[in-house]
Chains A and B, each alone.
Chain A
Amino acid sequence: MKATGVLVIVACFAIVYVMISICDKLWKAFLRRHDKSNDRKQMENTPTTCENLMDRYK
């Protein structure tokens, strides 16, 4: 009975550990894709400009 209880607890920990690992990997993959898309968007949405530098200091 006692051994079964210990086994169940160990199994629960193992399941939680595996689930957290999978979630962590998915989350990091999502962030990497998000970063890539953000980097690309920033390049596309920001135009190159030429201005008189003094205008910033008026």
Chain B
Amino acid sequence: MINCFKMFSMDSRLLEIFLNSFTRILIPGLLVTIPLTIVAFFLAMIIAVVVAIIRFANIKILKDICRFYVWIIRGTPLLVQLFFAYYGLPKLGITWTSPFICAVLVFAFNEGAYASETIRGSLNSVSEGQIEAGYCVGMSYLQIMWRIVLPQALRAAFPSLMNGLIGMVKDTSLASNITVTEMFFVTRTIVTTTYEPLLLYLEVALIYLLFSSILSKVQTVIEKKLNAQVGK
């Protein structure tokens, strides 16, 4: 333990690598990891809501397509999905203008499948009486879903959905495998030139931890607001 402490505090070369690499890692974090996460998660939420409502409302044929989609995505590893999309699909004529776009779509469809199950569960937890009350004041099914059931379901699903978001921040490191120059990709590059894996992987881990901690904080704040909205 003491050796470990000495290693970081006494060695000026290590300190220099640490400081130099910090911004080099943080910048792709801010410019790639965060945008990748935000865009992919946003798309994932749209997919999840649509899939969840289709399955909740029991719409023929579409519901089977959605179930198939969730089955495939949940049943295969994310890394395999990334490789399949980026290296495999071009063989079928689907080419990517950048690995970033490919990664966004893979993460969106992956998280969309998981989140759709979370939202479907929350939709089921909204009492049938809310829907009946909506019918009894003459509203259409879509109006009831959109304005009454979905807002309540999303509030209930919020903590689990944030789980998914925080998970996705970390999972974006897998995108380094398809040449997306996000934080982990850059870190690996620096390790190959400095040969300091202990320091650098610790450093990148801390930056991921920092991002996740900020999101956890954001979650707490939003949850308080959401609860205030229903008078809790």
Q: Do A and B come from one complex?
A: no
